[in-house]
Chain A
Amino acid sequence: MVNKLATIFLVDDDKNIVLLLEKFLEYYGHKIIDCAFNGEEAIQKYKNFDKFPDLVIMDHRMPFKNGIQATKEILKRNPLSKIIFLSADFTAREEAIELGINSFIEKPFDFHKLSEIIKNTLPKKKKQSQLV
């Protein structure tokens, strides 16, 4: 449980959700490398990362730029980035999936489901080596 399973970048304009996700993900041993509270901030921070995170958890409805716009820019910067959408707006689902995100989870979310999806999204090699 205490092993650092993955590095995660959290993007959500709701601080309560960010805090909740932090607690949950850290409980499972993941490392939150940074947080952004709107799409624009997410793009800027992602561009400046020295090392890309293993996973991005992305909200959709946010100020300045939304999740779809931020995802487009992030995928331009790193086409291999793994992104899980976590949004209460189901209307963004199809467009996000077409962009090539790894998964779409609707809010309110279930922790078991979220942890299952994270597990399946992360590269197996790394997961296996860390689990050993």
Chain B
Amino acid sequence: MLNSTSSNNVKDLSKVLKVIINHIRDILVESDLNGNVIYLNPKVYDVLGYKSEEVIGLNIDKFIHPEDIPNLAGKTKDLLIRGGQMVIDFRALHKNGHYVHLSANYTVIEENQNTKLIAVLYEISPQEESEEINRFIAENINDTIAVLDDKLELMFINDMQKKILGFPTEDILGKSPLELLHPDDIKKAKRIFSRTLKKEHGRGQFRIRSKDNSYKWMDVNGRLTFDIDGNQRILLVSRDITQEKGRELKIIEQNKDLEQLNLLKNEFLSRASHELKTPLASIKGNADLMKMIHHKNLKPDIIVMLEVIQRNCNRLENIINKIIESSKLETSKIELLTTKEDLSLLIKSCVNEVQSLAKMRNLKINLNVKNLLITKFNKDQIHEVILNLLTNAINYSPPGGIIDIFSKVNDNVIIISLKDRGFGFTADEKLKIFKKFGKINRREQGFDVLVESSGLGLYISKKIIELHGGKIWVESDGRNKGSIFSFTLPII
């Protein structure tokens, strides 16, 4: 070939070029300055579905997405002014009617005093597009993104790692991430890796060693994936949660301390109550016995004094019992034993119990409770709640009033309300009354009340109702405007 004539050389070269042009993987377009196609290689059939001869002679604009035409026209104009090359992406119409993303490399050439445009076009594959997007995401988001190869070694990690852990990328590529884990977390990480391999995803929180040897808490999300050649990869997306974890651990620690303190307090209360009850048994017993045995020999004023001792012993005993009960309700080991009962019957029986107290106070109790309010609850405990609300309503209402009790059933919940025309509560008082010893001293406020209570009744009632999965609350428009106490019990 080297020895052939130059015309033969040109012929041969032209043949070779034709073969190349017909077989290259790109589309080659030759057009005039107006965009009329002069030549097109057969590759266009593979990409856009047209035969070359179907397009030659037509204007290229017919095949460009209308939205991309202004950009292409503008850039082509610039190219013609400055010469050289340009790269531009646009959508071209496939014969089937859909658009194909193409990237074009335009060159201006002069041939026989004619200016022509040569464009080399290739299809941007969806894969290329998503790779580009992936790379962008990996470099710009606030998570550390890493890819592990089939040996579970790091083959890619984005720059976020440098901000969090501080390693130069090259120092950790090729290493197993297990090498960076806190020794206590390795077992858990292995478990999560194997779960990721089996179930395609896994998640866990780990301590990861940074360059300065301190540990960072990371929330790591793993996903099993495969590259285009079918090789197994694990994608790890990790977020630095050191600060949140620090706060969380502190709260857990504080809660443990509080729990411990609470147990100590309850033990103290229980022992203290026992120690209080023993001498009380002695005082009460002697007063009772003195009255019982020597009744006939005692002067009336001595009997009155003994009765004061007896009454106050009972009052003190009641307070001690309430303290014990509230400390029992606070211990987490309490188990709620419930039976199926009719709440309306229990309310009626409570009303009967307090009838004589209400009469003493000249109060009328109106009962507007539906029959057959059947649900599961602890009868003794709910009895205590109702009795407590009723005696409060009686004790803290001025004589001559009315107390209404009514029920409602809403969405599987029974609501019981007790409305009194008593002293009512200010906004501040409403916040206090369900707390331990949160009672409002009405006598100090100058109200005419029957008795002062232990200050634990509503606190215990709240605990009991909450233990049953219900709620208890008070509504009152303020001083002397009465109040409505309500509680709910779920229908089970």
* CA gap between A40 and B285 in the complex, in Å: 26
Which parts of A36-62 form the interface with B (CB within 8 Å)?
61
CB within 8 Å of B: which A95-112 residues: 106-111
- Contacting pair A108 B293 (CB below 8 A): no
Give the CA-CA distance A46 to B90 in the complex, in Å.
107
Whether a CB of chain A sits under 8 angstroms from the CB of B201 is no
What separation, in Å, do the CA atoms of A89 and B271 have in the docked complex?
A: 8
- Complex Cα distance, B277 from A17, in Å, reads 12
Partner of B282, one of A16, A90, A110, A111: A16
* A27 interface hit (Cβ, 8 Å): yes
Give the dominant DSSP class at B's interface: helix
B286 at the interface (CB under 8 A from A): yes
A108 touches B292 (CB 8 A): no
Report chain B residues within 8 Å CB of A89: 274
Q: How many residues of B contact A (CB 8 A)?
A: 20
Q: Output the least CB separation between B126 and chain A (Å).
A: 72
Q: Is A91 positioned at the interface, with any CB of B under 8 Å from its CB?
A: yes
Contact between A111 and B289 (Cβ–Cβ < 8 Å)? yes
B253 within 8 A of A: no
Do B281 and A17 touch across chains, with their CB atoms under 8 A apart?
Answer: yes
Per-residue 0/1 for B284-300: is the Cβ within 8 Å of any A Cβ (1 yes, 0 no)?
Answer: 11101100110000000
Does A126 lie at the interface of the complex (its beta carbon under 8 Å from any beta carbon of B)? no
Cβ-defined contact, B285 with A20, below 8 A: yes
Let me know if A77 is at the binding interface, CB within 8 A. Answer: no
Query: Which residue of B274, B280, B282, B317 contacts A20 across the interface (Cβ within 8 Å)?
Result: B282
| Choice from A61, A90, A91, A109 contacting B281 with Cβ under 8 Å | A109
Within 8 A of B (CB), among A1-49: 14, 16-17, 20, 23-24, 27
- When the two chains form their complex, are residues A109 and B274 in contact, meaning their CB atoms are under 8 A apart? no
Query: A14, A23, A108: which contacts B284 (Cβ < 8 A)?
Result: A108
Interface residue B381 (Cβ < 8 Å from any Cβ of A): no
Interface centre among B270, B273, B280, B285 (most CB of A within 10 A): B285
State how many angstroms separate the Cβ of B36 from the closest Cβ of chain A. Answer: 102
Report which B residues bind A (CB closer than 8 A): 270, 273-275, 277-282, 284-286, 288-289, 292-293, 313, 317, 324
Given contacts A17-B281, A108-B284, 11 further A-B contacts (CB under 8 A): A16-B279, A17-B278, A24-B289, A88-B273, A88-B275, A88-B278, A106-B277, A107-B280, A108-B280, A110-B288, A111-B285
- 16 residue pairs of the A-B complex, CB under 8 angstroms, read A14-B282, A16-B282, A17-B278, A17-B285, A20-B282, A20-B286, A27-B292, A88-B274, A88-B275, A88-B277, A106-B277, A107-B278, A108-B277, A108-B280, A108-B313, A111-B289
- Chain A residues close to B by CB (< 8 Å): 14, 16-17, 20, 23-24, 27, 61, 88-91, 106-111
